[in-house]
Amino acid sequence: MSPKRGDDVPPPPVGTEWRLRFGTTEAAKGWGELCAEASGNARRCFEALRANPLSTGDPDRQHRLRGRLAARVFGGVELPQWEYEVTAGGRVRYVVDEAARVVHLVYASPRHPKDTEA
């Protein structure tokens, strides 16, 4: 069965790793496309988000979004929205629920999201 909104991104977390979940069905589909097109980079993204989704160590690759995209209401709660640059065009956007230690993938695609274009 294809993954959908609310499903965990496999495999399950171990120890202090963060849980990754698909926040939208579109993100689940896009994650599959991203993995097919850039498996090595998608794996690095997966490992980075599992280890520390709030890392500011490589701001060109992983950063909190700004302006109108800085936060997103998810499950009735406003959460900070971040982005991970998987490839030159491919992106993963996610919101972070620190209290639950869950990262919800809300956008994943080998194509750049159009909402940042001026």
In the block, which residue shows the tokens 């993100």?
27
pLDDT tens, 6-50? Answer: 999 999 999 999 999 999 999 999 999 999 999 999 999 999 999
Distances (CA, A) of 2 to 14, 23, 32, 60, 66: 23, 14, 10, 32, 32
At 117 the pLDDT is 55
SS3 state at 74: strand
pLDDT tens, 57-85? Answer: 999 999 999 999 999 999 999 999 999 99
* Residue 114 binned pLDDT confidence (cut-offs 50, 70, 90): confident
Classify residue 89 as left (phi > 0), alpha (psi -120 to 50) or beta.
Answer: alpha
Structure tokens at 106: 């809300």
Whole-prediction pTM value? 0.94
* H/E run at residue 37: helix 25-37
CA 29 – CA 5 distance, rounded (Å): 10
Nearest to 29 by CA among 50, 7, 13, 46: 7
